[in-house]
Structure 1
Amino acid sequence: MEIYKPILLQGISICALLVFFIFSVLKRSFVLKIAALGVLLVLILGVFINRDYGANIDLPLYMDFYKYNVVFADIFISKTAWKGDFLFFGLMPISHILGLGKEDYITFQLTLSITLTFLAYFLFFKDSRALVFLALFFMLNSSSFYLIQGNVIRQGLSSSLLLLGICANTGFQTNLFKTMAFFSHKGSLFSFLSGFLDYKNKTRILILSLALFIGYFSVFVHIINLFPLPEFIVTKLEFYSSFERASSNSLIKLALLICFNILFLFFRNTNVGYEKAYSFFFVFSVAALLLFRFDGMFSRLVLYTDIFIPILSVGCIQQFTEKRNKVIAALVMIVLSLTYSVYVFNHESIVFNMGAYFSI
């Protein structure tokens, strides 16, 4: 018996929604909460692990890199050293020590980053009975989750570490997770600016508008070209500016990014945890808008904004004080998320990154 993968993925996200409704009426139960999270985690890991790792783009490359990073010294001298993602590639020697093959290494890597993501959600909503399942429902309806954990797994590990960063209790711990994320994937560099953009809404609107104008009308491209850049950087920028693979969705991604920025500007929750998540979201939004014409960079940076949207969406719901308004807001977001998921789970990118079928 074979089940078409998008239907299976949709089913898992709906399971998270049903658990949210159940826990909304149950009394607080730490054990049941852990058990439900564990079941959802196992279901998701089953989908990610039980597929063809070779029917992809990035995963075969990492399995090829695996043979060059056997001991820890290799991550600084092998053909992958120039990337500088020493934490990510450091997992390869660990896998060799454990005696894992190249496909087992991918399984190890996926299990680690996805488990860290679930841990971050649990820690963020540790004081809530049911909200973690609503946030997971929003996350599991996002194509970004399946892309960063199913294909661009360096960014998947980096994203999980950034999520842990917003759960940290001190600035030192947050910066430590930012640093770990940076040495997993360089795109997380902008996270270090999150503490320096604490502005009022009017200023944020101005910054976002300028970033949109500069990025959309290629002003940033012309500014970059004014500087004498090394040849390898020029080559890289030319590659990303002509990057076609994600171009068909770029305008949709741009529109959604603007919509979420408007939503979070006016309806975001101002509690400490949500504000930290918003600061990450905002700085990656600005960076993505500035680099809109470098489509490959824009698409990767949008993925970084997407990892915070489920949490911030729950925060928007929670900031309503009256129960009736809170219920209405939750239902509206649930319906929108379900509607969006119909598009997501029938998009070719899901089949490309996750495989066409999942056998049971």
Structure 2
Amino acid sequence: MLADLALPLLRCLDPETAHRLTVRALSAGLGPSTGGWVPDARLGQSLFGLRFPHPVGIAAGFDKDAEAFAGALKLGAAFVEVGTMTPRPQPGNPRPRLFRLPEDGAVINRNGFNNSGLEAGAARLARRDRTQGIVGANVGANKGVETPESDYAAGVRATAPLADYITINVSSPNTPGLRDLQAPGPLRELLRAAKAARKDVTGETGPAILLKIAPDLDDAQLEGIVGVVLDEGIDGMIVSNTTIARPASLKGASKGETGGLSGAPLFEPSTAILAKTYRLTGGKLPLIGVGGIDSGAAAYTKIKAGASLVQLYTALIYKGPGLVRRIAEELGTLLERDGCSSVTEVIGVEAGATP
């Protein structure tokens, strides 16, 4: 409750300063905790060789440098994804680069993979207590690198012994040329390099590799990506990153800023591409649904559209840290309402009906 009450104070600060204070508080152990809360057993499932107590996690971008994952897990998250981390430290784009759109429940960012680099992030991951929960690592390429596949391979080599899964991020709109890596040729080369790097350091038992895609793909582009993912035996996909689209419904004063839009306006387009991805994979590949989740009902819609797990970030800015547990509890209530004994019973049941 006290953490939720702090939200108006944080919103008096510029967004990036507020974010840094939040991360520092969590890293210092000053954040709230769900204590002995036990999620509804019907929400649990095993994926990627891991046991998730419920489907709700925190997306990459919140804890870029692996500083606060322990505190974030204490909020009740089933898993936390750190990063995006690049091989070399990177300052990112000039500030201001993060903009709230409170009227829209949205945020625009053009951060540009600002992070302290793989060495620093990996050192923090190496000190983690694995019994505290599931932590994934999101890796990317430095700006302007000529051989991006080498950067992704470096990311995998550094994090494979330390993370529970690894996400290959080729979908941020804020690094020039990055989304071009979603084309089948470059993507295949990149994913093969990532798999080879994993094998080099962990053999055949390494962490799952997931691919995070953009919401701004046409059908042909999505079909090409899914084809490569299936051909290369990638373990899962995250759908989706932020969008470069600007819906006419936006009201916020910062709606014209350049960057990726997240939050409530992203919910419908990201859910639509999630359902398409589920159909293209035949439901055989675990998907993580991201974009505009701010309630149990929204998370349930993502799951029915094909997501086995869901992630949130932007809604925490507006609804506070208690939102993670609330969403998980609401999911349990919805399963009870629908007479389901497991969340797996509803995954993808409406993938064909999602607009």
The answer, yes or no, to whether TM exceeds 0.5 is no
Higher-strand-fraction structure: 2
Q: TM-score with structure 2 length normalisation?
A: 0.33
Report which of the two structures shows the higher radius of gyration computed on alpha carbons.
Answer: 1
Q: TM-score with structure 1 length normalisation?
A: 0.32
Structure ranking higher on relative contact order (CA contacts 8 Å, 6+ apart) = 1
